[in-house]
């Protein structure tokens, strides 16, 4: 299946469990492999969901793309939440 880049940009993105992530803002194209490498998702200001700023989703994390939405692995949210916990640099130990 093919999807036009104009339809891809602005496409709704959510996790496998249905959590809204935002919309596709841009993407990286691997010119050697002639395919998309990363998608950049930006939540709307009022619909931030689990994220407050743009984040990158690797093409391997994408489960499905239709003309209505992009579905990404639930692990994307778990990874982001893990990164937001404060950690001591160099130790990996959580603060708290």
| CA dihedral angle for residue 54, residue 80, residue 13, residue 4, rounded to 10 degrees | 60
1-53 pLDDT per residue, tens: 888 888 999 999 999 999 999 999 999 999 999 999 999 998 866 555 555 67
CATH tag for 5-84 (out of 3.50.50.60, 3.40.50.2000, 3.40.50.1370, 2.30.30.240): 2.30.30.240
Backbone φ and ψ of 93, nearest 5°: -80, 135
Instruction: DSSP letter for 53, please.
Output: S
Please give the model's pTM, rounded to 2 decimal places: 0.72
Domain assignments of the chain as residue spans, ordered by start = 5-84
């Amino acid at each position: 299946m093919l999807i036009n880049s104009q339809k891809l940009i602005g496409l709704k993105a959510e996790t496998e469990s249905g959590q809204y992530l935002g919309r596709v803002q841009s993407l990286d194209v691997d010119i050697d492999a002639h395919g998309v490498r990363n998608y950049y998702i930006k939540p709307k200001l009022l619909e931030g969901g689990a994220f407050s700023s743009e984040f990158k989703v690797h093409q391997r994390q994408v489960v499905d793309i239709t003309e209505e939405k992009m579905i990404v692995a639930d692990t994307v949210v778990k990874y982001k939440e893990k990164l937001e916990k404060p950690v001591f640099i160099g130790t990996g130990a959580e603060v708290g």
